[in-house]
Amino acid sequence: MPGSMARQRATETARIVAVTHDGRGIAEAPGKKVFVAGALQGEEVRFMRRKRHRSYDDAELLEVLSASPSRVQPRCEVYGVCGGCSLQHVTAAEQRHIKEQSLRDNLSRIGRTEPQQWLPPLFDSSADGSWRYRRRARLAVKDVAAKGRVLVGFRERHAPYVTNMLRCEVLAEPVDHLIGALSDLIGRLGIRSRLPQVEVAVADNCTELVFRVLDPPGMADRQAMIAFAKQHGLQIALQSGGLDSVEPLYPIPPETLYYDLPGYGLRMEFAATDFVQVNAAVNRLMIGRALELLRPEPGDSVLDLYCGIGNFSLPVAGRAARVLGIEGDHRLVSRARQNAKRNRIANCEFAVADLAAADGSEAWMARTWGKLLLDPARAGAIELLMHVERMSPERIVYVSCHPGTLARDSGELVHRFGYKFEAAGIIDMFPHTAHVESIAVFSKK
Protein backbone atom coordinates (compact mmCIF):
# COMPACT_ATOMS: atom_id res chain seq x y z
CA MET A 1 0.00 0.00 0.00
CA PRO A 2 1.44 3.42 -0.91
CA GLY A 3 2.61 5.50 2.03
CA SER A 4 0.12 8.34 1.45
CA MET A 5 -2.81 5.90 1.43
CA ALA A 6 -1.58 4.23 4.60
CA ARG A 7 -1.30 7.59 6.34
CA GLN A 8 -4.81 8.54 5.22
CA ARG A 9 -6.31 5.32 6.59
CA ALA A 10 -4.34 5.25 9.85
CA THR A 11 -6.37 5.83 13.01
CA GLU A 12 -5.29 8.47 15.50
CA THR A 13 -6.21 9.43 19.03
CA ALA A 14 -6.42 13.01 20.26
CA ARG A 15 -8.15 15.38 22.64
CA ILE A 16 -10.70 17.85 21.25
CA VAL A 17 -9.76 21.39 22.24
CA ALA A 18 -12.60 23.38 20.60
CA VAL A 19 -15.79 22.99 18.57
CA THR A 20 -16.86 24.85 15.44
CA HIS A 21 -20.38 26.28 15.07
CA ASP A 22 -21.45 23.30 12.93
CA GLY A 23 -20.46 20.68 15.48
CA ARG A 24 -16.98 19.70 14.27
CA GLY A 25 -14.38 19.13 16.97
CA ILE A 26 -10.88 20.55 16.54
CA ALA A 27 -8.34 17.89 17.48
CA GLU A 28 -5.15 18.60 19.37
CA ALA A 29 -2.90 17.15 16.67
CA PRO A 30 0.59 18.16 15.46
CA GLY A 31 0.79 20.28 12.33
CA LYS A 32 -2.35 21.54 10.67
CA LYS A 33 -5.83 21.51 12.21
CA VAL A 34 -7.96 18.37 12.09
CA PHE A 35 -11.74 18.78 12.14
CA VAL A 36 -13.55 15.73 13.53
CA ALA A 37 -17.28 15.79 12.75
CA GLY A 38 -19.37 14.96 15.82
CA ALA A 39 -16.59 15.31 18.41
CA LEU A 40 -17.10 17.65 21.39
CA GLN A 41 -14.74 19.85 23.35
CA GLY A 42 -12.86 18.01 26.10
CA GLU A 43 -13.42 14.56 24.61
CA GLU A 44 -10.72 12.00 23.91
CA VAL A 45 -11.53 10.46 20.53
CA ARG A 46 -10.24 8.03 17.94
CA PHE A 47 -10.56 9.27 14.37
CA MET A 48 -9.44 8.73 10.79
CA ARG A 49 -8.47 11.49 8.37
CA ARG A 50 -10.69 11.31 5.29
CA LYS A 51 -9.97 14.50 3.31
CA ARG A 52 -6.68 16.35 3.29
CA HIS A 53 -6.47 20.06 2.51
CA ARG A 54 -3.60 22.51 2.47
CA SER A 55 -4.26 24.07 5.88
CA TYR A 56 -6.52 21.48 7.56
CA ASP A 57 -7.85 17.92 7.33
CA ASP A 58 -11.38 16.53 7.71
CA ALA A 59 -11.71 13.37 9.78
CA GLU A 60 -14.30 10.74 10.59
CA LEU A 61 -15.11 10.08 14.27
CA LEU A 62 -14.54 6.37 14.95
CA GLU A 63 -14.90 6.15 18.74
CA VAL A 64 -15.42 8.42 21.74
CA LEU A 65 -12.94 7.23 24.37
CA SER A 66 -13.90 9.82 26.97
CA ALA A 67 -17.29 11.51 26.49
CA SER A 68 -18.21 15.11 27.24
CA PRO A 69 -21.02 15.67 29.77
CA SER A 70 -22.73 17.63 26.95
CA ARG A 71 -23.03 14.54 24.73
CA VAL A 72 -26.51 13.03 24.36
CA GLN A 73 -28.07 10.28 22.25
CA PRO A 74 -29.50 11.71 19.00
CA ARG A 75 -33.24 11.21 18.69
CA CYS A 76 -33.34 10.81 14.90
CA GLU A 77 -32.67 7.38 13.36
CA VAL A 78 -30.83 8.89 10.36
CA TYR A 79 -28.82 11.48 12.28
CA GLY A 80 -25.31 11.69 10.88
CA VAL A 81 -26.52 10.80 7.40
CA CYS A 82 -29.23 13.45 6.96
CA GLY A 83 -27.95 16.96 6.38
CA GLY A 84 -30.91 18.60 8.10
CA CYS A 85 -29.36 18.53 11.59
CA SER A 86 -25.76 18.63 12.79
CA LEU A 87 -26.04 19.09 16.57
CA GLN A 88 -28.49 16.45 17.83
CA HIS A 89 -25.66 14.76 19.74
CA VAL A 90 -25.26 17.89 21.93
CA THR A 91 -27.46 19.10 24.80
CA ALA A 92 -29.70 22.05 23.95
CA ALA A 93 -27.82 24.30 26.39
CA GLU A 94 -24.47 23.43 24.82
CA GLN A 95 -25.89 24.01 21.33
CA ARG A 96 -26.77 27.55 22.33
CA HIS A 97 -23.33 28.02 23.87
CA ILE A 98 -21.69 26.93 20.59
CA LYS A 99 -23.86 29.35 18.62
CA GLU A 100 -23.17 32.24 20.97
CA GLN A 101 -19.45 31.56 20.73
CA SER A 102 -19.76 31.64 16.93
CA LEU A 103 -21.43 35.06 17.14
CA ARG A 104 -18.78 36.36 19.56
CA ASP A 105 -15.94 35.11 17.37
CA ASN A 106 -17.40 36.63 14.20
CA LEU A 107 -18.03 40.02 15.80
CA SER A 108 -14.50 40.13 17.18
CA ARG A 109 -12.65 38.75 14.16
CA ILE A 110 -14.62 40.28 11.26
CA GLY A 111 -16.26 43.38 12.72
CA ARG A 112 -13.66 44.17 15.41
CA THR A 113 -16.61 45.00 17.65
CA GLU A 114 -18.20 43.80 20.85
CA PRO A 115 -21.57 44.80 22.29
CA GLN A 116 -21.72 46.54 25.62
CA GLN A 117 -24.19 43.89 26.77
CA TRP A 118 -24.71 40.24 25.83
CA LEU A 119 -28.39 39.37 25.76
CA PRO A 120 -29.62 36.02 27.11
CA PRO A 121 -30.39 33.57 24.28
CA LEU A 122 -33.94 33.35 23.00
CA PHE A 123 -35.34 29.82 22.74
CA ASP A 124 -38.51 27.81 23.25
CA SER A 125 -38.22 26.65 26.87
CA SER A 126 -41.24 24.33 26.78
CA ALA A 127 -40.63 20.66 27.63
CA ASP A 128 -40.27 19.53 23.99
CA GLY A 129 -39.62 22.94 22.46
CA SER A 130 -36.58 21.96 20.41
CA TRP A 131 -38.46 19.25 18.50
CA ARG A 132 -41.21 19.37 15.86
CA TYR A 133 -40.76 23.11 15.47
CA ARG A 134 -40.14 23.52 11.74
CA ARG A 135 -43.30 24.79 10.03
CA ARG A 136 -41.67 25.57 6.64
CA ALA A 137 -39.45 23.19 4.72
CA ARG A 138 -38.55 21.99 1.25
CA LEU A 139 -38.32 18.21 0.92
CA ALA A 140 -36.38 16.67 -1.95
CA VAL A 141 -37.91 13.75 -3.87
CA LYS A 142 -36.01 11.09 -5.84
CA ASP A 143 -37.18 7.88 -7.48
CA VAL A 144 -34.37 5.44 -6.63
CA ALA A 145 -34.72 2.16 -8.52
CA ALA A 146 -31.90 0.50 -6.56
CA LYS A 147 -33.86 0.95 -3.32
CA GLY A 148 -37.17 0.06 -4.90
CA ARG A 149 -38.90 3.19 -3.61
CA VAL A 150 -39.18 6.93 -3.89
CA LEU A 151 -37.10 8.76 -1.28
CA VAL A 152 -38.55 11.89 0.33
CA GLY A 153 -36.58 14.01 2.77
CA PHE A 154 -33.58 16.28 3.23
CA ARG A 155 -30.29 15.88 1.37
CA GLU A 156 -27.55 13.80 2.95
CA ARG A 157 -24.88 15.60 4.93
CA HIS A 158 -21.90 14.63 2.79
CA ALA A 159 -23.55 13.79 -0.55
CA PRO A 160 -26.19 15.22 -2.90
CA TYR A 161 -28.44 12.20 -2.39
CA VAL A 162 -31.85 12.26 -0.70
CA THR A 163 -31.73 10.70 2.77
CA ASN A 164 -33.53 7.37 3.12
CA MET A 165 -35.85 8.38 5.96
CA LEU A 166 -39.40 7.65 7.16
CA ARG A 167 -39.98 10.51 9.63
CA CYS A 168 -38.39 13.76 10.80
CA GLU A 169 -38.02 14.82 14.41
CA VAL A 170 -37.82 18.57 13.69
CA LEU A 171 -40.66 18.98 11.18
CA ALA A 172 -43.87 20.28 12.72
CA GLU A 173 -46.85 17.98 13.15
CA PRO A 174 -48.42 16.33 11.21
CA VAL A 175 -45.65 16.26 8.58
CA ASP A 176 -43.09 14.87 11.07
CA HIS A 177 -44.56 11.37 10.73
CA LEU A 178 -45.76 11.55 7.11
CA ILE A 179 -42.42 11.16 5.29
CA GLY A 180 -42.92 7.43 4.75
CA ALA A 181 -46.54 7.91 3.67
CA LEU A 182 -45.46 10.61 1.19
CA SER A 183 -42.87 8.22 -0.21
CA ASP A 184 -45.54 5.56 -0.70
CA LEU A 185 -47.95 8.04 -2.32
CA ILE A 186 -45.44 9.41 -4.83
CA GLY A 187 -44.22 5.88 -5.57
CA ARG A 188 -47.73 5.04 -6.85
CA LEU A 189 -47.93 8.05 -9.17
CA GLY A 190 -47.42 7.91 -12.91
CA ILE A 191 -45.23 11.05 -12.61
CA ARG A 192 -43.12 9.66 -9.74
CA SER A 193 -39.87 10.45 -11.60
CA ARG A 194 -41.12 13.92 -12.58
CA LEU A 195 -41.84 15.25 -9.10
CA PRO A 196 -38.58 16.65 -7.63
CA GLN A 197 -39.71 18.39 -4.44
CA VAL A 198 -42.50 19.05 -1.95
CA GLU A 199 -42.90 22.38 -0.13
CA VAL A 200 -44.25 22.08 3.42
CA ALA A 201 -46.21 24.85 5.14
CA VAL A 202 -47.73 24.20 8.57
CA ALA A 203 -50.04 27.02 9.62
CA ASP A 204 -52.05 27.47 12.81
CA ASN A 205 -55.21 26.41 10.99
CA CYS A 206 -54.07 23.78 8.47
CA THR A 207 -51.13 22.19 6.65
CA GLU A 208 -50.43 22.58 2.94
CA LEU A 209 -48.12 20.57 0.69
CA VAL A 210 -47.08 22.02 -2.67
CA PHE A 211 -45.97 19.34 -5.14
CA ARG A 212 -43.49 20.59 -7.77
CA VAL A 213 -44.47 18.76 -10.96
CA LEU A 214 -42.43 18.75 -14.17
CA ASP A 215 -45.27 17.03 -16.05
CA PRO A 216 -48.99 17.53 -15.40
CA PRO A 217 -50.44 14.68 -13.31
CA GLY A 218 -53.16 12.59 -14.94
CA MET A 219 -56.58 11.96 -13.47
CA ALA A 220 -55.48 8.86 -11.56
CA ASP A 221 -52.56 10.74 -10.00
CA ARG A 222 -54.81 13.63 -9.03
CA GLN A 223 -57.30 11.29 -7.41
CA ALA A 224 -54.50 9.58 -5.45
CA MET A 225 -53.22 12.95 -4.17
CA ILE A 226 -56.71 14.06 -3.19
CA ALA A 227 -57.33 10.78 -1.34
CA PHE A 228 -54.02 11.30 0.53
CA ALA A 229 -55.03 14.86 1.45
CA LYS A 230 -58.39 13.70 2.79
CA GLN A 231 -56.85 10.83 4.74
CA HIS A 232 -54.32 13.05 6.54
CA GLY A 233 -56.30 16.31 6.75
CA LEU A 234 -54.06 18.27 4.38
CA GLN A 235 -54.29 20.83 1.61
CA ILE A 236 -52.44 20.02 -1.62
CA ALA A 237 -51.39 22.38 -4.40
CA LEU A 238 -49.46 21.80 -7.63
CA GLN A 239 -46.59 23.95 -8.94
CA SER A 240 -45.69 23.45 -12.59
CA GLY A 241 -43.31 26.40 -12.99
CA GLY A 242 -42.54 29.59 -11.09
CA LEU A 243 -44.36 30.77 -7.97
CA ASP A 244 -47.15 32.22 -10.09
CA SER A 245 -47.96 28.72 -11.36
CA VAL A 246 -49.08 27.33 -7.97
CA GLU A 247 -52.69 26.16 -8.16
CA PRO A 248 -54.82 24.39 -5.54
CA LEU A 249 -55.70 20.73 -6.05
CA TYR A 250 -57.63 20.03 -2.84
CA PRO A 251 -59.71 21.51 -1.36
CA ILE A 252 -61.09 24.06 -3.80
CA PRO A 253 -61.22 26.77 -2.67
CA PRO A 254 -58.40 26.17 -0.17
CA GLU A 255 -58.21 27.64 3.30
CA THR A 256 -55.96 30.68 3.64
CA LEU A 257 -52.96 29.82 5.82
CA TYR A 258 -52.30 31.98 8.86
CA TYR A 259 -50.42 32.22 12.14
CA ASP A 260 -51.53 34.27 15.15
CA LEU A 261 -49.51 36.72 17.20
CA PRO A 262 -51.73 36.71 20.30
CA GLY A 263 -49.60 39.18 22.25
CA TYR A 264 -50.46 41.80 19.62
CA GLY A 265 -53.96 40.72 18.61
CA LEU A 266 -52.75 40.00 15.07
CA ARG A 267 -53.46 37.28 12.52
CA MET A 268 -50.85 36.98 9.78
CA GLU A 269 -51.96 35.32 6.54
CA PHE A 270 -49.43 33.80 4.14
CA ALA A 271 -49.11 31.51 1.14
CA ALA A 272 -47.41 28.12 1.33
CA THR A 273 -44.46 29.36 -0.75
CA ASP A 274 -44.02 32.65 1.16
CA PHE A 275 -41.07 33.23 3.47
CA VAL A 276 -42.13 33.03 7.10
CA GLN A 277 -40.03 32.37 10.20
CA VAL A 278 -39.90 28.60 10.61
CA ASN A 279 -40.25 28.44 14.40
CA ALA A 280 -43.61 29.80 15.60
CA ALA A 281 -42.80 29.94 19.32
CA VAL A 282 -39.37 31.54 18.83
CA ASN A 283 -40.77 33.98 16.29
CA ARG A 284 -43.12 35.37 18.95
CA LEU A 285 -40.21 35.73 21.38
CA MET A 286 -38.10 37.39 18.69
CA ILE A 287 -40.79 39.98 17.91
CA GLY A 288 -41.02 40.77 21.62
CA ARG A 289 -37.29 41.29 21.94
CA ALA A 290 -37.11 43.39 18.77
CA LEU A 291 -39.76 45.75 20.14
CA GLU A 292 -38.04 45.84 23.52
CA LEU A 293 -34.76 46.89 21.87
CA LEU A 294 -36.27 49.24 19.29
CA ARG A 295 -38.39 51.07 21.91
CA PRO A 296 -41.06 52.44 19.53
CA GLU A 297 -43.05 55.31 21.05
CA PRO A 298 -46.37 56.94 20.03
CA GLY A 299 -44.64 59.75 18.14
CA ASP A 300 -42.06 57.63 16.30
CA SER A 301 -41.68 57.01 12.58
CA VAL A 302 -40.22 53.53 12.02
CA LEU A 303 -38.67 52.06 8.87
CA ASP A 304 -38.82 48.26 8.57
CA LEU A 305 -36.49 46.98 5.84
CA TYR A 306 -36.78 43.46 4.37
CA CYS A 307 -40.24 43.43 5.96
CA GLY A 308 -41.68 40.29 4.33
CA ILE A 309 -45.37 39.83 5.11
CA GLY A 310 -45.22 42.38 7.94
CA ASN A 311 -44.02 40.07 10.73
CA PHE A 312 -42.33 42.97 12.57
CA SER A 313 -44.07 45.91 10.88
CA LEU A 314 -47.56 45.29 12.19
CA PRO A 315 -46.58 44.69 15.84
CA VAL A 316 -44.43 47.85 15.71
CA ALA A 317 -47.35 49.81 14.21
CA GLY A 318 -49.33 49.20 17.40
CA ARG A 319 -46.80 51.33 19.31
CA ALA A 320 -45.52 53.90 16.79
CA ALA A 321 -47.05 56.84 14.90
CA ARG A 322 -46.31 55.35 11.47
CA VAL A 323 -44.40 52.47 9.94
CA LEU A 324 -43.12 51.93 6.42
CA GLY A 325 -42.15 48.39 5.40
CA ILE A 326 -39.88 47.86 2.36
CA GLU A 327 -39.44 44.50 0.65
CA GLY A 328 -38.06 43.36 -2.71
CA ASP A 329 -40.63 40.60 -3.36
CA HIS A 330 -43.87 42.10 -4.67
CA ARG A 331 -45.83 39.01 -3.55
CA LEU A 332 -44.75 39.51 0.05
CA VAL A 333 -45.56 43.23 -0.11
CA SER A 334 -49.03 42.43 -1.41
CA ARG A 335 -49.50 39.98 1.47
CA ALA A 336 -48.25 42.56 3.98
CA ARG A 337 -50.77 45.13 2.71
CA GLN A 338 -53.56 42.59 2.99
CA ASN A 339 -52.49 41.73 6.52
CA ALA A 340 -52.53 45.39 7.53
CA LYS A 341 -56.01 45.79 6.06
CA ARG A 342 -57.42 42.64 7.68
CA ASN A 343 -55.99 43.65 11.06
CA ARG A 344 -57.41 47.20 10.66
CA ILE A 345 -54.00 48.86 10.88
CA ALA A 346 -54.04 52.21 9.11
CA ASN A 347 -50.64 53.65 10.14
CA CYS A 348 -48.53 51.06 8.30
CA GLU A 349 -47.61 51.29 4.60
CA PHE A 350 -45.62 48.93 2.41
CA ALA A 351 -43.57 49.42 -0.75
CA VAL A 352 -41.55 47.31 -3.18
CA ALA A 353 -37.85 48.11 -3.63
CA ASP A 354 -34.63 46.26 -4.42
CA LEU A 355 -32.73 47.12 -1.26
CA ALA A 356 -29.45 45.71 -2.55
CA ALA A 357 -29.59 48.28 -5.37
CA ALA A 358 -30.53 51.30 -3.21
CA ASP A 359 -28.44 54.33 -4.22
CA GLY A 360 -29.66 56.93 -1.72
CA SER A 361 -31.98 58.73 -4.12
CA GLU A 362 -35.12 56.86 -3.00
CA ALA A 363 -37.92 59.09 -1.71
CA TRP A 364 -38.48 56.95 1.39
CA MET A 365 -34.81 57.31 2.30
CA ALA A 366 -35.11 61.10 2.35
CA ARG A 367 -37.76 61.03 5.08
CA THR A 368 -36.94 61.31 8.76
CA TRP A 369 -36.88 57.92 10.46
CA GLY A 370 -36.32 57.87 14.19
CA LYS A 371 -35.93 54.12 14.29
CA LEU A 372 -34.84 51.45 11.84
CA LEU A 373 -35.46 47.69 11.94
CA LEU A 374 -33.94 45.35 9.39
CA ASP A 375 -34.03 41.59 8.84
CA PRO A 376 -31.95 40.87 5.70
CA ALA A 377 -31.09 37.57 4.05
CA ARG A 378 -27.74 35.84 4.57
CA ALA A 379 -25.94 38.38 2.38
CA GLY A 380 -26.61 41.07 4.97
CA ALA A 381 -27.33 44.75 4.30
CA ILE A 382 -23.97 46.33 3.52
CA GLU A 383 -25.15 48.17 0.37
CA LEU A 384 -28.08 49.67 2.22
CA LEU A 385 -26.12 50.65 5.32
CA MET A 386 -23.83 52.80 3.19
CA HIS A 387 -26.77 55.25 3.17
CA VAL A 388 -27.51 55.08 6.91
CA GLU A 389 -26.37 58.69 7.39
CA ARG A 390 -29.08 59.85 5.00
CA MET A 391 -31.77 57.99 6.95
CA SER A 392 -30.13 59.03 10.26
CA PRO A 393 -32.05 56.74 12.66
CA GLU A 394 -31.48 57.18 16.38
CA ARG A 395 -31.83 53.41 16.99
CA ILE A 396 -31.22 50.41 14.74
CA VAL A 397 -32.33 46.86 15.49
CA TYR A 398 -30.68 44.32 13.20
CA VAL A 399 -32.08 40.78 13.03
CA SER A 400 -29.55 38.50 11.33
CA CYS A 401 -29.49 34.95 9.96
CA HIS A 402 -25.72 34.91 9.40
CA PRO A 403 -23.16 35.96 12.05
CA GLY A 404 -20.48 36.74 9.47
CA THR A 405 -22.48 39.38 7.63
CA LEU A 406 -23.85 40.79 10.88
CA ALA A 407 -20.26 41.17 12.08
CA ARG A 408 -19.22 42.90 8.85
CA ASP A 409 -22.19 45.29 8.96
CA SER A 410 -21.73 45.94 12.69
CA GLY A 411 -18.16 46.99 12.01
CA GLU A 412 -19.36 49.55 9.46
CA LEU A 413 -22.02 50.95 11.79
CA VAL A 414 -19.55 51.30 14.65
CA HIS A 415 -16.28 52.29 12.97
CA ARG A 416 -17.51 54.21 9.92
CA PHE A 417 -20.78 55.74 11.08
CA GLY A 418 -20.13 56.12 14.81
CA TYR A 419 -23.01 54.11 16.23
CA LYS A 420 -22.81 52.65 19.72
CA PHE A 421 -23.13 48.86 19.81
CA GLU A 422 -25.48 48.46 22.75
CA ALA A 423 -26.35 44.76 22.82
CA ALA A 424 -26.45 41.48 20.91
CA GLY A 425 -27.53 37.89 21.46
CA ILE A 426 -28.48 34.70 19.67
CA ILE A 427 -31.96 33.49 18.74
CA ASP A 428 -32.19 29.69 18.63
CA MET A 429 -34.62 29.60 15.72
CA PHE A 430 -33.24 26.30 14.36
CA PRO A 431 -32.44 23.88 17.24
CA HIS A 432 -30.13 20.93 16.39
CA THR A 433 -28.71 22.76 13.37
CA ALA A 434 -25.65 24.97 12.92
CA HIS A 435 -27.81 27.89 11.80
CA VAL A 436 -27.12 30.97 13.95
CA GLU A 437 -29.87 33.59 14.13
CA SER A 438 -29.10 36.69 16.17
CA ILE A 439 -30.27 40.18 17.06
CA ALA A 440 -28.29 43.36 17.70
CA VAL A 441 -29.13 46.96 18.62
CA PHE A 442 -27.20 50.15 17.82
CA SER A 443 -27.80 53.73 18.87
CA LYS A 444 -26.37 57.13 18.00
CA LYS A 445 -23.67 58.23 20.39
Sign of the CA dihedral running 143, 148, 154, 157: negative
Bond prior to 174 in cis (omega within 30° of 0)? yes
Helices (H) and strands (E) in the chain, counts: 11, 21
Q: Are strands 11-19 and 44-52 parallel, antiparallel or unpaired?
A: antiparallel
3-state secondary structure of 441: strand
Give the sign of the dihedral formed by CA 390, CA 392, CA 398, CA 404.
Answer: positive
Q: What is the DSSP letter of 254?
A: P
CB 429 within 8 A of CB 406: no
CB 89 within 8 A of CB 79: yes
Q: How far apart are CA 347 and CA 422, in angstroms?
A: 29
Supply φ then ψ for residue 106, to 5 degrees.
-65, -45
Burial of 226 (0-12, 13-18, 19+ CB in 10 A): middle
Alpha helices for 76-142 (secondary structure H): 92-106
Give the length of the chain.
445
Determine the Cα–Cα distance for residues 228 and 54; give it in Å rounded to an integer.
52
Backbone angles phi, psi at 142, to 5 degrees: -150, 125
For residues 239 and 211, the answer to whether their CB atoms sit within 8 Å is yes
Residue 76 bears catalytic tag: no
* Per-position DSSP letters for 368-408, written without gaps between them: --SEEEE---TT-SHHHHTTHHHH--SEEEEEES-HHHHHH
Contact between 421 and 410 (Cβ < 8 Å): yes
Q: How far is CA 289 from CA 260, 426, 441, in A?
A: 17, 11, 10
Question: Are 276 and 259 spatial neighbours (Cβ–Cβ below 8 Å)?
Answer: yes
Q: How far apart are CA 196 and CA 184, in angstroms?
A: 15
Distances from the Cα of 118 to the Cαs of 126, 214, 288, 378, in angstroms?
23, 49, 17, 22
Which residues are identified as catalytic?
401
